[in-house]
Structure 1
Amino acid sequence: MTSPNTALIRAGQSLTPGDLVALFIIDLSPIRVNQQFAFTSEADRARGPLTFRGVTYTPLDVKAEGFEMTGHGQMPQPKISVSNATRLMSSATLLYQDLIGARLIRTRTYAQFLDGGETPDPEAAYAQDIYRFEQKVEHSKHQIVWTLAADMDQEGRELPARLIVRDICLWRYRRWDAEKGDWDYSHVQCPYTGAQAYDRFGNPTTPDKDEPSRHVTTCCKVRFGADAPLPFGGFPGVARVRV
């Protein structure tokens, strides 16, 4: 059986690799908002909404450029412009301080690997590009434009500012206060506030035994829903060790 990585490599090296699709997620969890926007380029409207890894991406008039690495030792500072025709992003910008600090995740794969494609393969995708919204440079009735910066390219930031772990969520989770008989959300980063508690295996339990497994399947999906945007506090876009 062909491994997912091999399938991606073969597609990239083929003379007819298929259509390369760029999928975007704006994740507001870094600014403490439990919401995500998932979209793809207007050019993909002919296919309708695209689904990959269970996430549906709505066609939107978006332009993203400047992700390419250069040989000058500087991190790229991409720009992304989004149509303001629907006023959706305009409303989000006004509500959440221009989205500054929010995360943009770009995933690239070939059309045949999409859910429902000719050969669906959730693992067949290039390493994700993950950036933060750094500055809003234009906001008109036609479009909104931001400049982006990589996490490690933030002025005044020191590395490591956070332990970078691929598959484990490091967000601070709520704690059950037995004396008060209520949840303690002091300095919490995980946005889950549901009444149902779960043990570390993802099974329903009592509040005093509430404990996150810190894995997407047994923690995030159990609490937020399998098809919901997941505020995972790990770094799924970090590649495994390469040689």
Structure 2
Amino acid sequence: MTALQGQLALANGMSIWEGFELVLPDQTIRFHAGTNENKGSVIWKGSTYSPWPINASEFATPSQGSPARPKLQVGNFGGTISALCRQYEDLLGAKLKRRRTLVKYLDAVNFTAGNPTANPFEEYPVETWIITRKANETSAAIEFDLGSPLDLTGIKLPRRQVIASTCLWAYRSGECGYAGGPVADYLNTPTSDPTKDQCSRSIKGCKLRFGENGELPFGGFPGIANVPRL
């Protein structure tokens, strides 16, 4: 199990900060593998992410197109995580949210001299995973396998209407994931006016916000148009 990654430093502002939220029936536990510049918990959007040894890996989707199967190894100091496993049935089915932003956007309280570039609206799309298995447990660390919520047994696809060219997500919702400034109106005409900012719910509208070659959280099924009718 690796140790904490160290302190944040505003000089490394372009580095990506990564935090996790474990959502349980009666509480949400937030943690990050390091401390802020003041050697305390990291604060993001006003929420506290406690320092805890974590080794998270394999979140990228394989090139073959098969679903990602991330792994999360967590320090088990004093049997803390073992106690959670006993209380919540090995955490099976628990929701784990992965949050990421650039260090330079973190709350000002994280830095000894404040942070003039702090911006709670600048965040990568929040990823939601489900703990599918407790893979290994020792007194030092516990490892969990993660999967997409769609991988859970008993879920049949699709569970929503299949539309080729229209995104079904609400703009700026958790599914949409966009949290930046105003971009364009519903006709994809550029605008800096927040009152006119409205997504066209098209692939183009998505690309305007996430980049031409970015990973698009498009809530439609563009490939369905190429599927022959039976």
TM-score tier after normalising by the smaller chain length: 0.5 to 0.7
Aligned to 1:203: none
State the match for 1:119 in structure 2.
117
Deviations 1:50-69 (A, max 9, x none): 11111110110011000011
What TM-score results when the alignment is normalised by the length of structure 1? Answer: 0.58
SS in 2 for 1:106: strand
Partner of 1:83: 75
Letter in 1 for 2:156: E
Structure 1 position 130 matched with structure 2 position 68: no
- Cα 1:109–1:85 change in 2 (3 A) is same
User: How far apart are 1:92 and its partner, in Å?
Assistant: 1.0
C-alpha separation in 2, matches of 1:143 and 1:60: 11
Tell me, in whole angstroms, the C-alpha distance in 2 between the residues paired with 1:104 and 1:84. Answer: 17
The 5 Å alignment of 1:189-208 reads none
1:35 corresponds to = 27
Using the aligned pairs only, state the percent identity: 25
User: Pick from 88, 104, 110: which aligns with 2:102?
Assistant: 110
Q: Residues 34, 19 of structure 1: CA spacing in aligned structure 2 closer, same or farther, 3 A cutoff?
A: same
Task: Give aligned pairs, total.
Answer: 158
Listed as ranges, the matches of 1:27-66 within 5 Å are 27-28=23-24, 33-42=25-34, 47-66=39-58
- With over 3 angstroms needed to count, the CA separation of the structure-2 counterparts of 1:147 and 1:99, relative to structure 1, is same
Q: Alpha-carbon deviations, 1:159-189, whole Å to 9, x = none?
A: 3447985589xxxxxxxxxxxxxxxxxxxxx
Corresponding residue number in structure 1 for 2:177: 239
**TM-score, with length taken from structure 2:** 0.61
C-alpha distance in structure 1 between counterparts of 2:66 and 2:144, whole Å:
19
- 1:77–1:156 CA distance, 2 compared to 1 (3 A): same
The Cα shift of 1:46 comes to: 6.4
Contact persistence 1:18–1:111 (CA under 8 A): yes
5+ residue gaps in structure 2? 1-11, 109-114, 162-167, 179-200, 208-230
C-alpha displacement of 1:150: 0.5
**What does residue 24 of structure 1 align with?**
20
Q: How far 1:153 moved relative to its partner? A: 2.5
1:94-173 map, 5 Å: 94-116=86-108, 117-161=115-159
Residue 42 of structure 1 and its aligned partner are, at CA, apart by 3.2
1:176 match:
none
Once superposed, what is the RMSD of the aligned Cα atoms? 2.6
